[in-house]
Homo-oligomer: A and B are copies of this chain.
Amino acid sequence: MTRIAQQAKRVSASIPTIRRLPSYLDVAKRYRHDGNDVISGTVIAEELELEAIQVRKDLAVTGIVGKPRVGYPLDELIAAIERFLNWDRSLRAVIVGAGNLGSALMGYKELKDHGLVLTAAFDASSDRLGVRPSGPTVYPVSDMKAVINRKQADLAILTVPSKVAQDVCDSLVDAGIKQIWNFTNVQLRVPEDVLVLREDLSSGFAVLSVLRPLD
């Protein structure tokens, strides 16, 4: 079992379940926005091409119980998912690597809507430093430990070139960071109490490549 799957036991939910919850939240908000008061598990399942039983099982981890033949009250459902995901609270983070990908993530409105607060960004290149029209100030990587201590952050989003990823990771751990969202292709080595989630585009590309149109 991966370290992350072990940690997921803490909240009595599997990683795949946690990963599906944001899409349930999207559907719930859309139906609420369209003027509905309730939504059935079956409708959510149809919207997302999942099995209804899967949807009900997943939603149960948030503590919400659907009413037979009626469904879930939408306001309750939205609140329950957001509470379970901690999206009603802020999560302080820094971004390391202010290139195209880092800049894209700085402007990613959805993450802000879900509580992500970027307290600082860092880059090794001097022409990327400074205050930006949107997003956090970009500091030199050499100031990382001092700035993180001052600005506070639990999470670091890693968007640096692969060849420096492990070194930057070591510095982040040294600065007290406990979670790393790894956008590089490096399998990072970290102490037991640090959690790494790798966001791996290769896995999505693998699915598309395998399922490419038949010639």
User: Which chain A residues numbered 193 to 214 have a C-beta less than 8 Å away from chain B?
Assistant: 195, 197, 199-213
Q: Are A100 and B110 in contact (CB under 8 A)?
A: no
Q: Are B213 and A19 in contact (CB under 8 A)?
A: no
User: Which chain A residues numbered 1 to 17 have a C-beta less than 8 Å away from chain B?
Assistant: 1-4, 7-8, 10-11, 13, 15
Indicate whether A63 reaches chain B with its CB closer than 8 angstroms: no
Binds B, one of A85-93, A137-145, A167-175: A85-93
Count the A residues whose beta carbon is within 8 Å of the partner chain — how many? 65
Indicate whether A84 reaches chain B with its CB closer than 8 angstroms: yes
Sample of 20 A–B contacts (CB below 8 Å): A1-B51, A4-B211, A18-B203, A20-B203, A22-B205, A86-B212, A91-B209, A99-B104, A100-B100, A101-B104, A104-B104, A110-B201, A114-B205, A114-B206, A155-B208, A178-B213, A179-B213, A181-B208, A195-B208, A197-B208
Interface residue ranges, A against B (CB under 8 Å): 1-4, 7-8, 10-11, 13, 15, 18-23, 26-27, 47-51, 84-87, 91, 99-101, 103-105, 107-108, 110-111, 114-116, 154-155, 178-179, 181, 185, 187, 195, 197, 199-213
Give 5 nearest A-B pairs by CB, closest first: A100-B104, A101-B104, A22-B202, A19-B203, A2-B49
